[in-house]
Structure 1
Amino acid sequence: MMISGIASKRNSVARPLMAFAAALLLTVALPGTASAQRLGYAAAPQAGPFGAGDQVLSSPQQDTAPDATVTDDEDAQLSDRLRRQVVAYNINQPAGTIVIDTANTYLYYLLGGGRAIRYGVGVGREGFTWAGTQTITRKAEWPDWHPPAQMIARQPYLPRFMAGGPGNPLGARAMYLGSTEYRIHGTNDPSTIGKFVSSGCIRLTNEDVADLFSRATVGTRVVVLPKSAPSLETRKPRPERQAMNIAVSSRD
């Protein structure tokens, strides 16, 4: 009887110890979200619409496409004059036309009725501005970048190719102008908006280029005013001239 009682007491102590050891082994073998948090590091991200790594958007060389939705509040970095807004703008062009005021670093999307959406832009630096008319011949979301040969000749350190993504200089959207190498595109550096910085392309914040991209279509007419052209914003037509014709040179 005494031996049976001792064995029973030993079993009553051993069972909880064995259960605790089994639970500890299970926790180590399967470190899920809860155990990861207890150990002080973040659990692995769960799979999203583009797969397990779609939350990581910082590298332009990622295998999965970045989310096409532009959510960064880049416009908050702009001065008031460069923020997207509807303004009075009188120019003899039809609604739906894009007009680029190079001198004042503005892009206008004409709404008709003397009004336009005005965006702040970065334009060509000294020696790289141009004027003329083109049409949008292609549109792309998160475009790849292939620096042209002339640009590489000037800046040999540039990559020969860069996949589309948040680190790409073309930003979230691009609209290609005619058969030229010029584009209206986004940027990964909002601080360049309002400046003369590019090799002739027109750049907007990613927020603004996504907005313009949703309005402009392939075939949209783009008028680029020369750097010396005066601003036409809020200008009233003179009585003797009911419309002002803007003469621009053609450039293929």
Structure 2
Amino acid sequence: MIAAFVTGAMFILATFHYWTATLITLALSIASILVWLWRGTSFIPEKPEKDVGLGLTLPLYASGPASASWWAMFITMTGDATAFFSLVFGYFFFFTIHTDFPPTGVEGPGLLWPAVSLVLFAHAWGAARIALPLNRSGRVAAARLAMAGGGVLAIAAGGALLWAPYTTGLEPSVHVYPAIVWTLCIWTAAHAAVGALMLFYCLARSLRGLLTPVYDIDIHNVALYWHFMGVTALVTLATIALFPLAAGGS
């Protein structure tokens, strides 16, 4: 209830440009969601199965595609991907209606920092992906290292991505081109921050004994998120860094 209230308040306050209050409710929203997830989800059952009568037993725990939460993550990220590709469509739509897209004299984000960001994203995705089989095989210490490393790499990747348009002086209020570039960068960096938070959450659960080689629903869901995150990063960087070159821009 608290998480729902502060999350709704955050969006309402942002609509009216109350930015300080928006940031406060954003922090409260993240904190309340984490508390809810920690205390109210992914319980380790007292036994693997339960007799439900008529000689039928059902498992008390499921992870991966056998669990409802995995499919909830899949459906959520499918909707998220739809919104993301709408932004990408906007980029190319603006290209078709503007003769100066990218505009003459306005540098794009270049290749260096987008390339650095892509390498970091690839390693963060790899860390999230490998953490699952490492944990499941009982190599818990290595899995924890992958979770921690993946989180750090995700933050670095998002930072490098935001640095790309900043260091070339792209001003979003000047033209639609820098505006849509910044929008794609912020979208991807924000999702990288969420992905990092997810990995750190799994690390904390593992350290507390709530994420084990058998009961691993959290890292299953996070690994799925990172598959979508990898596609998002790849498409964003190809769009903002490679397309201007193909179009004859900077």
| TM-score of the pair, normalised by structure 1 | 0.24
Relative to its length, the structure with more strand (as a share) is 1
Give the greater-gyration-radius structure (CA).
1
